[in-house]
Amino acid sequence: MRPPTLQDVADRAGVSYATADRVLNGRARVSARSTDRVQAAVAELGYTRNVAAANLSKGRVYRFAFVLPTGRNAFFQRMRTLIAARAARAAATNVQLEVLEVAAFDAASLAAGLDALSHGPVDGIAVVGLDGPELAAPLEALAARGVPVVSLVSPLPRSSAAPFVGIDNAVAGRSAARLVGLSHRRGPGRVLPVVGALNAPDHAERLAGFRAVLADDFPGVAVLPIIEGRDDAETVDRRVAQALDADPGITAIYNAGAGNSGLARALDRRPSRPFCIVHELVAHSRAALERDTFDVVIDQRPEVEIATALKLLRRMSDRMDLSPPPPICPTIVLRDTLPPEHPPRESTP
């Protein structure tokens, strides 16, 4: 049996096709009596709208923006490459993708970028979140316009209703701590934590999870004062080298942010190195794993994050029901489990 069509709904309700279409799409004014009849016919027939197909047939163009931090962060360079590759194919389905760059770890810059988007022709936004009061007004303006917002990689403030697409950052930090603890055979140690900035919720959540596991299960491993490297390789190189010179007893390093090429340089210059865990499998972290400079890389699979965010934005812009996506499962990569190198490609979640 074929599924019911909108014409079937109109016939059952005793109204025109145009009236049924207006009711289901919330356009123009329709009498309460006709609205009730159309809604009753929908329920009786079990009619389900294929909004995406309808919009495609009408030639609707979806404009989605990704708001990413600017700079030399290799992970976000990887995301830009993945988005560009996806954009070339998405155009065939009337989807236009653009990338807006804002200053890294700068809530005011992010707020200005979101404010600019709130005044332009955009159907949905995926944004790498920060925490800061400056974000409240532009997020409210986008909500008032009905523009869907998804937080990507790092969540927006808890006051935002934006669904989050990414790994569970607290669990990632907890996993890193367990590996650090096991590498010490439950003995004593001194671990140096590195983050980009603590106003980046993903970095703060990773660090909180990391601290919690060490305190509960590996109390002999002390957590040293945090280095904020701003995801800058030169800064991370300099500050880690200074820390290692000042404290030869450091037994482990956990970088919850970026700047890993600088961290690798700091470790490569030393005759021996501490146990080291970093995030994101990019060219330089892969190379550091291969030459035994890093021990573990936790990769959040950005190709899956991008695909999930786009799917979510499409459903939200079509006003379809949705449930929050589950956290994306990260990959823990060792030198022995390095995946083969290949050009960036999309992945279906």
Residue range 150-198, pLDDT digits in tens: 999 999 998 788 999 999 999 999 999 999 999 998 889 999 999 999 9
From 111, 71, 349, select the one nearest 231 (Cα to Cα): 71
pLDDT at 61: 87
Tell me the C-alpha distance between 157 and 58, whole Å: 37
The type of residue at 2 is R
What tokens does 285 get? Answer: 């972290």
What tokens does 192 get? Answer: 């140096």
pLDDT at 28: 61
pTM: 0.81
The DSSP secondary structure of 207-245, one letter per residue, reads HHHHHHHHHHH-TTEEEPPPEE-TT-HHHHHHHHHHHHH
pLDDT at 264: 98
User: What stretches of the chain show up as alpha helix (H) in DSSP?
Assistant: 6-13, 17-25, 32-45, 51-57, 74-90, 107-118, 136-145, 169-183, 201-217, 233-246, 260-268, 283-290, 302-317
Interval 50-69 mean pLDDT: 74
What pLDDT, in 10s, does the model give residues 198-242? Answer: 999 999 999 999 999 999 999 999 999 999 999 999 999 999 999
pLDDT for 347 beyond 50: no
Burial (CB count <10 Å: 0-12, 13-18, 19+), residue 202:
buried
Lowest-confidence segment of 55-59, 169-173, 202-206, 288-292 by average pLDDT = 55-59
pLDDT at 55: 56
- The residues of the chain that CATH labels 3.40.50.2300 are 60-166+302-327, 169-299
Q: Are strands 296-299 and 331-333 parallel, antiparallel or unpaired?
A: antiparallel
Q: Are 257 and 231 in contact (CB under 8 A)?
A: yes
Tell me the C-alpha distance between 155 and 37, whole Å: 43
- CATH 3.40.50.2300 applies to domain 169-299: yes
What is the sign, positive or negative, of the torsion defined by CA atoms of 116, 118, 123, 124? positive
Tell me the C-alpha distance between 222 and 231, whole Å: 24
Task: Classify domain 60-166+302-327 by CATH number.
Answer: 3.40.50.2300
Q: What percent of the chain lies above the pLDDT cut of 90?
A: 72
Give the residue with greater pLDDT, 61 vs 52: 61
Interval 86-113 mean pLDDT: 93
Give the residue with greater pLDDT, 48 vs 318: 318
pLDDT at 56: 52
Please state, as a whole number, how many other Cβ atoms lie within 10 Å of the Cβ of residue 330: 22
